[in-house]
Amino acid sequence: MNTYQTYRGLPALAGLCGFEAALKPGLTVEECVRRLKRYHYACKRLHQIFTARITAEPIYELKNGFSLHAHLCAEHATALRRRVGEMREPPLGLEQVAEANLEIFFDEILGAPTTEELVVGLYEKAVPALQAALEQHVADTNPLADQPSVRLCRFALLELGDLRQFGAQAAAVLIDGAWRAAHADWLALLDDCLAAAGGLDGTRPVAAKPIRRRHSATPYRYDGHPRRDERFPDPYNMGVNAEVFLYDEQFPPRPKTLMMFYKRLREIDVPEMMASIITETTGKPWDYYRDMTRQLWDEARHAMMGEVGFVGLELDWRKVMVNFTWSLALNTQLKPLERHAVLYFIEQGLMPRNGKRFEWEVGVASGNPIAALFQDYDWADEVLHARIGRDWYLKQFDDPKQAVQYGDDCWSRVLIDWNKWRADGLTQHRNWWPEIYRAACQRWGTEPDPAVLAFHTTYEAVRADLKTISASA
């Protein structure tokens, strides 16, 4: 072997590794699959926790981070499932608990009662444990024989590094030393769970210390009540009907971009709502969860595009009242399938002329390149979402018309009690539009258009798809 040369010294073995590494015994297929199943379990549980905790987490930035990280974990879980399926492994057993103490480890994080515990559990315990396991796999396995697994590990490590960094930055501002001291016991419990599992990958000696559940002593219950941080001061405000303004031909494109940025930012309620469908729907094929989570992430991305739109104009988005009335109403009044029906029904309405193409045309006509760009991608994403709706919602019905009708019926049944909220003092439905429009005109260096300034249509009588709200709602 020492004298072996490749042709004119070209890279050996497709550039994967040298001969010494390729001659390493590495992991058997059996051991490789055993470990892959544990990584898969970790990705699935991380996906579950990130998703389940979006709705009731008040901090907007964490909602967005969780949305992305749920999507990434779902993608890596998908890749790992496929790889296990390539490894002479039927039955795959991918729906089973990988190991009892590992289950407690993730249950404890899922049931973390505060944002701080959740952040530390996810980003300082679970993610690093998975990183260490994947690094160990790359170090242990034969890089030639097990190249497909190595590739998955490397891709996953790339993104897990991003998660870790996000978590470190979040922990640095949310958590201090006193907090850590006060929560040392629980953090040690998480370490004990991993030790009792022989590490996340089960390659270390199993610690014999008995594990007692704390946050998961009573089973986790999903909280579908959306919460927001203090930058959302009026979450029941439905005082400005963005759709009526957007589709009114008398108004020019530029102020409409402002309303579109508002509409995008308000979409943070879609991850809040989709998280409830994904969390409360059991027994679907894995690809259902993966596709729905991709859409959930897209909707969070749309919200951030709205945020960027305001930042680009140096406007304070806290001055526009980003409400949670839609996610609140759907999560608390409808069953998961009914929520999906409403989502599908609304998205059907976005495909014709009066929808995403129109918004993109407004963006282009406005002369604001970022409004045009965001609507361009928003439209493309919506086409994907329509496909996801066809694959996972529509197929449950014999007749597509019936599926759409069911969505309309469910949406009509939702009680969004505009007047009662005002009577109960939850909101005054204050018209915030003139203030933000005036501020935008200052940025643009133009005088406010009196007709635009005078816009004051609320959601009292017209719901977001421009249907007149029935007397009951």
Give the interface with Fe ion as residue ranges (CB under 5 A).
267, 299, 302, 385
Q: Point out which residues pair with 51 in neighbouring strands.
A: none
Site of tokens 């929560």:
183
Question: How near is the Cβ of 291 to Fe ion at its closest, in Å?
Answer: 12
Closer CB to Fe ion, 199 or 271, in the complex: 271
As given in the structure block, the two tokens for residue 41 are 């379990």
- Give, as one character, the DSSP assignment of residue 93: -
Closer CB to Fe ion, 232 or 344, in the complex: 344
Question: How near is the Cβ of 155 to Fe ion at its closest, in Å?
Answer: 26
- If phi > 0 it is left, if psi is from -120 to 50 it is alpha, else beta; for residue 272 that is alpha
Instruction: Report which of 75, 77, 456 is spatially closest to residue 248, judged by C-alpha positions.
Output: 456
Site of tokens 């501002």:
173
As given in the structure block, the two tokens for residue 30 are 């059996």
Question: How near is the Cβ of 423 to Fe ion at its closest, in Å?
Answer: 32
As given in the structure block, the two tokens for residue 397 are 């019905």
| 4: phi then psi, degrees, rounded to nearest 5 | -65, 135
Question: How near is the Cβ of 302 to Fe ion at its closest, in Å?
Answer: 4
Residue pair 429/342 in contact (Cβ under 8 Å)? The answer is no
Residue pair 224/332 in contact (Cβ under 8 Å)? The answer is yes
- Rounded distance between C-alpha atoms, residue 81 and residue 290, angstroms: 12
What is the rounded end-to-end Cα distance, in angstroms, of the chain? 80
The CA distances from residue 401 to 170, 344, 398, 405, 463, in Å, are 46, 12, 9, 6, 21
Closer CB to Fe ion, 66 or 437, in the complex: 66
Closer CB to Fe ion, 360 or 437, in the complex: 360
Question: How near is the Cβ of 348 to Fe ion at its closest, in Å?
Answer: 11
Q: Number of H helices and number of E strands within the chain?
A: 21, 0
Residue pair 344/403 in contact (Cβ under 8 Å)? The answer is yes
Closer CB to Fe ion, 137 or 301, in the complex: 301
Question: How near is the Cβ of 350 to Fe ion at its closest, in Å?
Answer: 7
- Rounded distance between C-alpha atoms, residue 116 and residue 121, angstroms: 8
Closer CB to Fe ion, 142 or 375, in the complex: 375
| 468: phi then psi, degrees, rounded to nearest 5 | -65, 130
**Helix 29-52, helix 60-85: angle, nearest 10:** 160
Question: How near is the Cβ of 372 to Fe ion at its closest, in Å?
Answer: 16
Question: How near is the Cβ of 270 to Fe ion at its closest, in Å?
Answer: 6
As given in the structure block, the two tokens for residue 320 are 């526009």
Instruction: Report which of 78, 339, 146 is spatially closest to residue 226, judged by C-alpha positions.
Output: 339
Closer CB to Fe ion, 296 or 441, in the complex: 296
- Give, as one character, the DSSP assignment of residue 210: -
| 308: phi then psi, degrees, rounded to nearest 5 | -65, -40
Question: How near is the Cβ of 384 to Fe ion at its closest, in Å?
Answer: 8
Closer CB to Fe ion, 193 or 274, in the complex: 274
- Rounded distance between C-alpha atoms, residue 168 and residue 162, angstroms: 10
Q: Is the dihedral of CA 356, 362, 364, 367 positive or negative?
A: negative
Residue 396 identity = Q
Closer CB to Fe ion, 270 or 414, in the complex: 270
Question: How near is the Cβ of 257 to Fe ion at its closest, in Å?
Answer: 16
Instruction: Report which of 429, 425, 426 is spatially closest to residue 460, judged by C-alpha positions.
Output: 429
Question: How near is the Cβ of 85 to Fe ion at its closest, in Å?
Answer: 30
Closer CB to Fe ion, 67 or 149, in the complex: 67
Closer CB to Fe ion, 193 or 343, in the complex: 343
Question: How near is the Cβ of 311 to Fe ion at its closest, in Å?
Answer: 19
Closer CB to Fe ion, 120 or 320, in the complex: 320
